[in-house]
Amino acid sequence: MNQENKEMNVSVFSDRVFAAAEAAGIAPAEICVAGSESFSVRVRGGKLEDYKVSDRFNLTLRGVSGGRIGTASTQALDEESIGMLIQGVKESAEVIETDEQDEILPPDEAYGAVCNHSEALRGVTAQDRIALAMRIDARLAAADARLTPGFTVVATSEETMTLKNTLGLDLSHSSNMIYAYASALAKDGDQAATGFKLLWGYSLEDVNAFDVADGCAQDALEKLGAGRMSSGARPVVIRNNAMADLLSTFCGVFSADNAQKGLSLLAGKEGETIASGCVTLVDDPLMPWGLGSAPFDREGAATMKKNIIENGKLITLLHNRKTAKAAGIRTTGNAAGAGHVSPSNLFIAPGEKDTQALLKEMGEGLYLTEVSGLHAGANAVSGDFSLLARGFEVLGGKAVRAVEQITVAGNFYQLLRDVMAVGSDLLFEGSPIGSPSVAVRSLNIAGE
Amino acid sequence: MISESICQQVLARALKLGGTFAEIFYEDSRNFGMSLRDGKIENAATSRPLGAGIRVYDGLRSIYVYTCDVTLSGLLRAADRAAAAVTDTKGSGRDVMLAETRFADRHPVRTPVLGVPAAERAAVLRAADRAARAVSPRISQVAAGLIAREQHVIIANSEGLYTGDVRTYTRLTCSAIASDGTENQTGMESPGARMGFELFETRVDPEEAGRKAAKTAVTMLDAPYCSAGEMPVVIAGGFGGVIFHEACGHSLEATSVEPGMSEFAGKLGQTIAAPCVTAIDDGTMENEWGSENIDDEGMPTTRLVLIENGVLKNYMIDRLNGLKMGMAPTGSGRRESYAFAPTSRMRNTFIAPGNDDEEEMIRTMGDGLYAAQMGGGSVNPATGEFNFSVREGYLVKDGRITSPVRGASLIGKGSEILMRIDRVGREMTMGQGMCGSRSGSVPTNVGQPTIRVSRLTVGGK
């Protein structure tokens, strides 16, 4: 789309909405515009199968009417939408009963600087993306006779968030990224396993075709020959990607909003030891080139780096202005909209040991490499999880045999306390939530 | 909404440099969401998603461009971007002639939610909240939500189709948390239908939903952890149908069958399930959550027998995968919104009623698990590996239900569980879900009578 044209339209439309809001007695008012553009290609069997281009935006009006804040949003910049936004805000303000809404406030004094937008990506053409996907697919096809390449996807995306209010706030942040992933099916007799590998970054060099293809092939092939494992409680080394998945699922327990509503057991536990001494959990919105980096949050508050857990001790939960006020502290800059909070770049600080050392120290147990069904088998409120898993049986300090069709069960709160060691291999796998591998005392394995 | 003549111009433009097929999916929707926590209305918001997706086939390649600039110039720009990606079937372009087709509305709506006063909408949430809290003083939190969607679509394609539909959905969600101070357990009910606010007069009692969610949470708070191992499992009807949805349904979608990433690929006409199993995917059921008039490619919806007495009869097929497979589409092309190209998806998918007695199933199962309520789950269609959580489970000892157990999950492979179903009850009930796949999140019903699986791996502690 013609970029200039769209921006002018959004800006003219915003001014008209602000004027209509003022006329309707909505003050102060805030407009948030989230815009995104993406381009992706999908290749299979040496052929370009799918080609997708998008641009979209969403405009949200929030405003105070009768002492409460109402919200309405639209993707259409027309006359009808202006009426709908104004009526929507008034109606929603009328029915809402909670006092503690996200407030609309003037800008903070200063904002941190952070960059996760690459000019280099702008020069990447459709042909570049197709060629990269083709190279990955071809490399996979030639990798091993037992392997059938699935889809290879190369995509770029660019997002811009603009936040403006009638109290002088006017902020904007843009980010972009490129990612490439491949999937493959490995078959050997009755055995079947899928492999997957994703790389991301901010230039074509960050998504090397051979690294994606070889990673995917290895992931699929090393699962072949998998057997079951006998049931029982075992020590486990959780690989970085699987630990990041668990952390993503349970990160809501660090939300002050959840805590204040009885949905997290960490309410009021600040200052207490809630995890093993080797666990430090960081939320860093100012991390250079982080996927979740941004200088301001959804309320326009300045963001900042902080330790949520430091050497096992709970330092702070994540706050927006509303939860911070209730707790008598300052916001941590984690407002996510609609009164909720969310982390930015969230990760367990890496330790010193590599995976081999973690396995060696464990001696016998499970090297857990993959968990699935997190949206169903994990209860973010109770912390309980029981998940389909894959991994390797570890004997004599070494991964000796692939394992499938097992479940691992435990409780996230307990898991934090049971961490024995934290690895050095911090990984963000296309997500702002990352982790190194960790060794834990025990999880319950259900197999044969 | 956009006219026939605009669609004609846009489709012709999309095909100006070649291409074998072009389609436009235009959407102008009204969404409403309201939520209650701590006994108070916390959020209420309307939104208006609007945009169009233009799809061009370049042989068997799909080119998809979407935008929320739906002015004529915006749509033509999107068509140009799609046209520019055509490489294999370059040509000189052609005219597109459209004729309007109207389909009968099988799913009448009486009371659009947005026409109902806000206070009345809020009253539904309050009723669920009150009823849940009345179940036990140990109910520490109740979150209730009302979700309504009115999706107006126009679908036109270069084969002359110009049609439209209005899809109206209303749903209540209620989750209750029971707490004893150190532990939390949850219960959840989310009934909905393809209809308006009359849902709460004709089908759903908000108090009943609140009570049921609270009872599950309280029951689970007192339950010990389920022990792990292989055992027979009886799965109750309603949302229990998620087991078929995940373990088998996804593997019967052309999305996974066509690329050979399904364990059921190439098995039409073969026995893939026990003879007591007949399974159906039905978009025609009046006002059901997963029902349609037309799919998102403009094809009338259908009732499709997937498995008949254990034999695989049909896959669910969308237009593009149909072309690739050389098979006719089944009205199964669905998408969340204009931001997704459609692919084959489930609608109301269920195991048909059988002849077995539910009481007998438990009496003769020996030691095992009774899954009274299932949570969600997921599956890897390529290998058939699935996992589900059991939201409310009971231990069965010597053919008798003894005590509730928490934290159970069921894992296995789709092909195995289908063969191991040895009882199918007489009364089929359904539950509502949002199903996620490549074309986004779409409303689907899952369903089944109570069934028994002779052996399953149960994960627990």
DSSP secondary structure of A308-333: EEETTEE---B--HHHHHHHTS---S
Q: What's the pLDDT score for residue A5?
A: 47
Regarding whether A448 and A306 lie in a shared domain, the answer is yes
Regarding whether A281 and A206 lie in a shared domain, the answer is no
Residue B382 — pLDDT band, cuts 50, 70, 90? confident
In angstroms, the CA B209 to CA B199 distance is 13
8 Å CB contact between B425 and B395: no
Is A180 within a domain? Answer: yes
Q: Of the given ranges (B56-70, B86-100, B132-146), which has the lowest mean pLDDT?
A: B86-100
Closest CB to A95: pick one of B119, B179, B377: B119
Regarding whether A201 and A234 lie in a shared domain, the answer is no
Is A217 within a domain? Answer: yes
- By C-alpha distance, the chain B residue nearest A1 is B77
B133 part of contact set with chain A, CB < 8 Å: no
The secondary structure element, H or E, covering residue A247 is helix A240-250
Please report the ipTM that was assigned to this predicted complex. 0.85
**Chain A neighbours among B 266-325 (CB < 8 Å)?**
none
- By C-alpha distance, the chain A residue nearest B66 is A54
Q: What's the pLDDT score for residue B417?
A: 93
In angstroms, the CA B193 to CA A47 distance is 41
Percent of chain B with pLDDT over 90: 85
Higher pLDDT pick, A387 / B273: B273
Q: Which residues of A touch B62 (CB under 8 A)?
A: 49-51
8 Å CB contact between A340 and A289: no
Q: Is B329 helix (H, G, I), strand (E, B) or coil?
A: coil
**What number of other Cβ atoms are within 10 A of residue A41's Cβ?**
26
In angstroms, the CA A182 to CA A157 distance is 18
CATH of the domain at A203: 3.30.2290.10
Rg, chain B, Cα only: 24
Q: What's the pLDDT score for residue A101?
A: 63
Q: What's the pLDDT score for residue A319?
A: 97
Inter-chain touch B69–A150, beta carbons under 8 Å = no
Inter-chain touch A44–B259, beta carbons under 8 Å = yes
Q: Which residues of A touch B260 (CB under 8 A)?
A: 148, 185
Regarding whether A349 and A206 lie in a shared domain, the answer is no
**Chain A neighbours among B 334-393 (CB < 8 Å)?**
339, 341, 375-378, 380, 382-383, 385-389
pTM here is: 0.89
Inter-chain touch B177–A447, beta carbons under 8 Å = no
Inter-chain touch B51–A71, beta carbons under 8 Å = no
Runs of H (alpha helix) within B72-139:
72-84, 118-135
Bridge partner list, B457: B230, B411
Q: What's the pLDDT score for residue A100?
A: 62
Is A100 within a domain? Answer: no
Regarding whether A314 and A300 lie in a shared domain, the answer is yes
Is A440 within a domain? Answer: yes
- By C-alpha distance, the chain B residue nearest A126 is B85
B408 part of contact set with chain A, CB < 8 Å: yes
B28 part of contact set with chain A, CB < 8 Å: yes
Higher pLDDT pick, B181 / A91: A91
**Domain enclosing residue A317, as ranges:** 226-448
B407 part of contact set with chain A, CB < 8 Å: yes
Regarding whether A325 and A431 lie in a shared domain, the answer is yes
pLDDT value at B426 more than 90: yes
Regarding whether A237 and A196 lie in a shared domain, the answer is no
Q: What's the pLDDT score for residue B127?
A: 98
In angstroms, the CA B409 to CA A377 distance is 7
What confidence tens digit (pLDDT) does each residue in B282-292 have? Answer: 999 999 999 99
Cα–Cα nearest to B378, from B256, B284, B245:
B245
Regarding whether A235 and A209 lie in a shared domain, the answer is no
Regarding whether A139 and A230 lie in a shared domain, the answer is no
Regarding whether A380 and A271 lie in a shared domain, the answer is yes
- By C-alpha distance, the chain A residue nearest B408 is A386
Domain count, chain A: 2
B15 part of contact set with chain A, CB < 8 Å: no
Under 8 Å CB pairs connecting chains A and B tally to 235
Q: What's the pLDDT score for residue B260?
A: 85
Is A370 within a domain? Answer: yes
Q: Which residues of A touch B129 (CB under 8 A)?
A: none
Inter-chain touch A373–B28, beta carbons under 8 Å = no
Is A52 within a domain? Answer: no
B105 part of contact set with chain A, CB < 8 Å: no
Regarding whether A264 and A193 lie in a shared domain, the answer is no
Residue B184 — pLDDT band, cuts 50, 70, 90? confident
Cα–Cα nearest to A173, from A163, A160, A192:
A160
In angstroms, the CA B226 to CA A125 distance is 54
Low-confidence residues of chain A: pLDDT under 70: 1-8, 99-102
In angstroms, the CA B86 to CA B83 distance is 6
Q: What's the pLDDT score for residue A4?
A: 42
Inter-chain touch B66–A56, beta carbons under 8 Å = yes
What confidence tens digit (pLDDT) does each residue in A188-204 have? Answer: 988 889 999 999 999 99
Is A344 within a domain? Answer: yes
Is A208 within a domain? Answer: yes
Mean pLDDT estimate for chain B: 94
**What distances in angstroms separate CA B64 from CA A233, B7, B56, one per listed residue?**
49, 16, 7
Type of residue numbered A360:
K
The secondary structure element, H or E, covering residue A441 is strand A438-446
Query: What domains lie within chain B, and their CATH numbers?
Result: 113-150+166-220 (3.30.2290.10), 229-459 (no CATH)
Regarding whether A366 and A269 lie in a shared domain, the answer is yes
The dihedral through the CA atoms of B218, B221, B224, B230 has a sign that is positive
Give the list of residues 6+ apart from residue B372 with CB closer than 8 angstroms, or none. Answer: B236, B392, B393, B394
The C-alpha angle A393, A398, A402, rounded to 5 degrees, equals 30
Closest CB to B228: pick one of A150, A265, A444: A444
